[in-house]
Amino acid sequence: MRSSLSKSERLCVGCCGLPVGLAQYSRTFRVVEVQQTFYLPPQVKTLEKWRTAVPADFEFVLKAWQLITHEASSPTYRRLGEKLTPRDRREVGAFRLCPRVVDAWWRMLQCVSALGSRVILFQCPASFTPTSEHKQNLRSFFRLINRQPPRAKPGDRLIFVWEPRGAWRPEEVRELCAELDLVHGVDPFHQSAATRGMGYFRLHGRTGYRHRYSPEELKQLSEMASSFKPCYVLFNNLSMWEDARRFGSPSRC
């Protein structure tokens, strides 16, 4: 990274998705959360073009494919772009280890390999509630899948970020993250992280998607991020490009 901070200490600032072209974006920031992998992972050759179009120290965080996290009743499936059998529609999502979900994870590993990614975000819908079935699904999924990136060096492991929504109690999230080695992804203006060490902030807008962060709020955000090393701070509001630039710079990632 450009910063003099070590890898374990850096603050990584960017956006959830590309508000501008990749070339312009990568001249300003050194990390982006890829949204396309949630709807339908792009072809490997497309991802390889992205990788060669940015500096070597640019980081692509991947958002896990919706087939893993969201059930087929989710409106996000309108953008899936692939047909599902009736059986698939009954089984996919909610971390169920059905054949289509296992295949979805294999597709994610292809994306990891093409982009050289090391962090994957698993964002859950509010319908993924803290039932005993859902908790067991989480345990089965994360215990089975391989954390070693393709062609990785010995000891390298993928970092999994879990962003639950809905009625999860902090102690439930804390216990599952500790048990399954997950990082708790949060919007820090709405919820405190249940894990320590690495931080992963997703800024959805304090009062909604159109919210623009004030200088005072950005100062508060910087103070909250200072408790985590490293800390990813990714803006996901309408003015994310402007807010992220006001908050950070390439020297901070």
Its pTM stands at 0.92
Q: Comparing C-alpha atoms, which of 137, 217, 123, 237 is closest to residue 180?
A: 137
Report helix, strand or coil for 190: coil
Helices (H) and strands (E) in the chain, counts: 10, 8
pLDDT at 166: 85
pLDDT at 182: 98
| pLDDT by residue, tens only, the chain of 253 residues | 233 334 445 899 999 999 999 999 999 999 999 999 999 999 999 999 999 999 999 999 999 999 999 999 999 999 998 999 999 999 999 999 999 999 999 999 999 999 999 999 999 999 999 999 999 999 999 999 988 877 767 778 999 999 999 899 999 999 999 999 999 999 999 999 999 999 999 999 999 999 999 999 999 999 999 999 999 999 999 999 999 999 985 434 4
Q: Comparing C-alpha atoms, which of 18, 142, 115, 40 is closest to residue 84?
A: 40
Question: What is the CATH superfamily name and number for domain 11-252?
Answer: Protein of unknown function UPF0759 (3.20.20.410)
pLDDT at 149: 77
pLDDT at 147: 84
* Dist. CA 111–CA 88, nearest whole Å: 22
Per the listing, tokens 């994957």 go with: 120
Domain boundaries in the chain? Answer: 11-252
pLDDT at 8: 40
pLDDT at 39: 97
pLDDT at 152: 67
Per the listing, tokens 């908790």 go with: 135
Q: Cβ contacts of residue 206 below 8 Å, gap of 6+?
A: 189, 190, 213, 217
